[in-house]
A and B are shown apart, each in its own frame.
Chain A
Amino acid sequence: MWFRKERTEERLDAELRDHFERLVHELVTSGVQPEEARRQARLEFGDLEQIKEDCRDVSGRWLEDFGKDLRYSARTLRRNPGFLAVSVLSLALGIGANAAIFNLIHSVMMRSLPVHDPERLIQISRISTDNKQASVSYALFKYLEGSMKSISGSAVQMESSPTIVLDGAEELVDAELVSGSHYSVLGIQPSAGRLLEPADDAIAPSVPAAVISYNYWHRRFGLSPTAIGKTFTFQIRNQVFTIVGVTPPGYQGARLGRDPDITMPVSMILTEKQRQQVSYNGFEMLARLVPGASIGQADAEFQVSWQAFLQRAASSMPENDHARFLQQRAVVTSGANGLDIRGLRSDYGQALLVLMAIVALVLLLACANLSGLLLARAASRQREISVRMAIGANSGRLIRQFLTESFLLALLGGCAGLLLARWVSNALVAMMADRGETLVFSAAIDWPVLGFTGAISFAACILCGLAPATQVFRANLNPGLKQTKALGRPRLGQIMVTIQVAISMLLVVGAALFVGTLTKLYSVDRGLRTDGILTFGLRTSDRYPPNRRWTSLGTLLDRLNALRGVSSASAVDVLPISGSLWNREIQVEGYTFRPDESVIVGFNAIAPKYFATLATPVLSGREFDDRDTNKSSKVAVVNESFAQYFFRGQSPLGRRVTSGNATYQIVGVVKDAKYQDLRQDAIRTMYIPLMQIENYQASICNFVVRVSAGDPMRLAPLLEKLIRDTDAGWRLRSIQKYSTVLDRTMRMERIMAILGGFFGVLALLIASVGIFGVIMFQVSRRVGEIGLRIALGASRSGILALILRDVVWMLVAGIVIGSSVAITLTGLTSKILFGITPADPAVFGLAAIVLAVAAMAAAWLPARRAMRVDPVAALRQE
């Protein structure tokens, strides 16, 4: 390239020289003296360099100019390492945060499954009473098979985390149990061996087939072909499977946020009852549309089948269950983005969009800040600009040079941002994960994410560079060349600061709302105490003798209670405030339900000493104890709300409540406690003894152990042994502090509070730097004026007021603009907030005060400098 450029120059030179020589030659032949001829020729030629320059312009040389600009910008930036560091860092934070949130939004809401023609995949699901998509039954899958014209095939699947024995070692894996049609519906090809086929659904082949994922193949077998043909034992059913193939790389199952290691035919696991029962809703169902069919058509056709299915199933049910059963709804939705079992889209959709808005504001703030700083630099280069324009540089060329500088900054910021994004993304995904399980999103490099990062970096470049570039148009040749210090204030700089204050106001208000929400949630009355409590569960190994479970549970609880350092221990079916809820229909003796009244109450099963352990006061009667066994008469404890609602001030003790096939006598009333999560008010709840549940298993229990002092996790090492000693068939599962469980149910609120708070503080910091920079610059420009004022008798405090007046104006304007935007925007967050309204005046007031303090602190140093101006020195300098 250098070669070509030099050659072009040489040629241009030669061409013009040729012309010149001919001109001289002509003059000489017409009789002019050679010396005089050359003079005349030069005169006629005019400015040779200008001609060359014009020719170069024609042949297009923006690339060359761009290179020059880049080198020039790199040089100027290197000379200001502090400025370079601050600007690249703030851009990297802004761009990185945007890329990270966008990556999550893309992963959770937008990315299509890596399968054949994902747009033609549909999901068939029931609609639960709280309007969420819910799983369907195997019976429905079988009923629909081959009966719908708009779909070419359908498949069901369920997930499981079984223990398998592979090569003699026990191992916990993430498994997916699917119908044999699964892979043909998705339309994917194996990366080795074969995938499951409809034939694999055949009941009871001697050694059924299983497929492993590419990642598992890589992790466990090092991509060795010998993996195919290996067998493993699936512990729950004690069933041996053969690995027959590997799924393609990039495919991570059809579920959002999962990456199953092993996929097995579900037909090997299902009991005959589970195949038939219409209420065994454990499956997610995917289907593929026939070419040309729309989701709407499929839904219309499906609704007819669904009604027929319900009618047929209802005919074998008791008459009074019919109405409720037939009310069930189901729907066809797009399956292109994968199955969202964990409600990630509904739980995080709004939060992610709010976060996206927050980080977009942060980037805008970083740009406004950088723009202000670049503007100050441009203003101090005013003289240079004037000189360059005076000697003939055109303005387009100068603007390009300014943009090159911000281009370089945006490029560096964008690259650093991408690195940061990966880290932030991973941290966020870890925070989103529930109950110790990890969320796995595709690690593949995403062109949409890269494209998005590139686009916002470019936007940042333009935003940062534009304001300084307009300085070129303002460049007034005359005063610019005189080396005077202009008295006029840089208006654009003040606008930039006002914008920064406004954006900071928005972000600080957001931060206050989210932190406030979290604090309110944590301080709400729970009705139980979670501190100092350890919780864990049990896993029973294969073929656990059912008759042992009653005795073992009692023994374990006794031993736990006898443990040194434990003040009380108990067990519960559904751990409160862990996100789960157990509902049951009841009938209350002496209470008639209106037809529109809910017969559903919260239900839970607990061991003795449960209320003592969780410190929930017993208001009357007693809690369960050793008297209440699987053989004694059935008893229940209800909470205050339950008692108030059904018995209206009369004593509930001795009253009877029926649920399912059992009738329980109320023996105690306890204070209300939160059940599903901290947001919901306590619901009417009824507790029964664990020992009296119909099909009790130790493995469903959550144990709660209150320690007398110190960190509950200190008990963990002791427990492992205690449990094995109590029952050799038991293993410890998910041991953790109760407070950890609680934190996890509020992970969305925590993410919002942490990120909101972080970005709020960051905004304050950036805005402070911006205010400091602009005021400092103004003071340095006005030193002469200030000196003059002092010389003429202005007091020091008058000077301080002069400087701070500007700050106050920018501050007030920024806060007013920020607040009015905030009031319209915070409404979007109402679903996320708790105990605080989006327009809470206290929040706005607090945010304004915080901003004012930060702004005054930032302006203090420059203002003090202005106060200390020595009039003699300042005027002499002038």
Chain B
Amino acid sequence: MHPPKSDLLQGTLDMLILKIVALAPIHGYGIAQRMRQISKEVLQVQQGSLYPALHRLEKRGWLQAEWGEAETGREAKFYALTKAGRKQLEAEEANWGRLSAAVATILRTVE
């Protein structure tokens, strides 16, 4: 049996993508894999959300795409973080930290 899966919070997908890409240039399949592995199968991103998000981030200038040879021998599209993307990631991480801390506090207090 698969462990129970959680839906991604609106807006967090972009942040997670940026975070994963920040480690090293990576293709779309790799991003999906990583997200699943790191979250221990809790977060699973659908291709239908992933690719439009990648294209959106690329259009905003936060990601930079390059075609290169993958380990499979086929051509694959690799995404890398741009300078603006790094700034955005930092901002979103800080924001997320505040938000999750606040949510956690409320949950603790109200219990």
Contacts and interface: CB of A to CB of B under 8 A. Distances in A.
A657 to B, nearest CB: 92
Interface stretch (A43-51, A161-169, A578-586, A807-815): A43-51
B59 A60 contact: yes
A19 B28 contact: yes
Q: Is the interface of A mostly helix, strand, loop or mixed?
A: helix
Interface string B74-85: 111100000000
A25 B72 contact: yes
Interface in A50-73: 50-51, 54-55, 57-60
Contacts of B74: 18, 21
Contacts of B32: 19
Interface stretch (A9-17, A247-255, A314-322, A419-427): A9-17
Contacts of B77: 11, 14-15, 18
Interface stretch (B16-24, B45-53, B88-96, B97-105): B45-53
B87 interface: no
A23 interface: yes
A22 B70 CA distance: 11
Nearest to A16: B51
Contact of A23 (B29, B52, B72, B75): B29
B55 A16 contact: no
A110 to B, nearest CB: 44
Contacts of A60: 59
Interface in B37-74: 46-48, 51-52, 55-56, 59, 67, 70, 72, 74
B59 A55 contact: no
Nearest to A50: B48
B75 A22 contact: no
B51 A45 contact: no
B48 A46 contact: yes
A58 B48 CA distance: 13
Contacts of B46: 46
B78 to A, nearest CB: 10
A46 B47 CA distance: 8
Contact of B48 (A14, A21, A51, A59): A51
Contact of A22 (B29, B55, B59): B29
Contacts of A18: 27-29, 70, 72, 74-77
A51 B59 contact: no
Nearest to B31: A19
A174 to B, nearest CB: 63
A47 B48 contact: yes
B47 A19 contact: yes
A552 B48 CA distance: 103
A25 B73 CA distance: 13
Interface in A25-47: 25, 44-47
A16 B46 CA distance: 12
A727 B28 CA distance: 103
Contact of A59 (B47, B55, B75): B55
Contact of A15 (B28, B52, B56, B59): B28
Contact of B72 (A16, A22, A58, A59): A22
Contacts of B29: 18-19, 22-23
A21 B47 contact: no
B47 A45 contact: yes
Nearest to A15: B77
A45 B27 CA distance: 16
Contacts of B51: 15-16, 51, 54-55
Given A11-B77, A23-B29, A51 B72 contact: no
Q: Name the interface size band of chain A.
A: 20 to 34
A23 to B, nearest CB: 7
* Interface-central residue, A25, A55, A60, by most chain B CB under 10 Å: A55
B11 to A, nearest CB: 16
A58 B56 contact: yes
A15 B54 CA distance: 11
B76 to A, nearest CB: 5
Q: Which among A45, A47, A50, A54 has the highest number of chain B CB atoms within 10 Å?
A: A54
A16 B75 contact: no
A55 B52 contact: yes
Nearest to A17: B74
Nearest to A44: B47
Contact of B47 (A11, A14, A16, A57): A16
Given A15-B28, A18-B29, A22-B29, A51 B52 contact: yes
Contacts of A50: 48
Contacts of A59: 55, 59
A630 to B, nearest CB: 95
Contacts of A25: 72
A23 B28 CA distance: 11
B52 A58 contact: yes
Contacts of A46: 46-48
A46 B76 CA distance: 21
A20 to B, nearest CB: 9
B96 to A, nearest CB: 23
Interface in A125-182: none
A19 B46 CA distance: 12
Contacts of A44: 47
Given A18-B27, A18-B29, A21-B74, A51 B47 contact: yes
B65 to A, nearest CB: 9
A54 B59 contact: no
Nearest to B56: A58
Contacts of B67: 11
A18 B27 CA distance: 9
A182 to B, nearest CB: 59
Which has the most chain B C-beta neighbours within 10 Å: A18, A23, A46, A60?
Answer: A18
B44 to A, nearest CB: 9
Given A21-B72, A25-B72, A55 B47 contact: no
A58 B47 contact: no
A365 B27 CA distance: 58
Contacts of B52: 51, 54-55, 57-58
A715 B70 CA distance: 100
Contacts of A54: 48, 51-52
B48 to A, nearest CB: 5
A60 B59 CA distance: 9
A57 B27 CA distance: 21
B57 to A, nearest CB: 9
A422 to B, nearest CB: 45
A58 B49 CA distance: 12
A11 B27 CA distance: 13
A21 to B, nearest CB: 7
Contact of B75 (A14, A45, A51, A58): A14
Nearest to A25: B72
Contacts of B56: 58
Contact of A55 (B27, B55, B72, B76): B55
A22 B76 CA distance: 11
Contact of B55 (A14, A21, A58): A58
27 contacts: A14-B75, A15-B27, A15-B51, A15-B77, A16-B51, A18-B27, A18-B74, A18-B75, A18-B76, A19-B27, A19-B29, A19-B32, A21-B74, A22-B72, A23-B29, A25-B72, A45-B47, A50-B48, A51-B52, A54-B48, A55-B55, A58-B52, A58-B55, A58-B56, A59-B55, A59-B59, A60-B59
Given A18-B28, A18-B29, 16 more contacts: A15-B28, A16-B47, A18-B74, A18-B77, A19-B29, A19-B32, A21-B72, A21-B74, A22-B72, A46-B46, A51-B47, A51-B52, A54-B51, A58-B55, A58-B59, A60-B59
Interface of B: 27-29, 32, 46-48, 51-52, 55-56, 59, 67, 70, 72, 74-77
Enumerate the 7 nearest inter-chain pairs by beta-carbon distance, A residue then B residue, closest first.
A54-B52, A58-B55, A22-B29, A19-B29, A58-B56, A15-B77, A55-B55
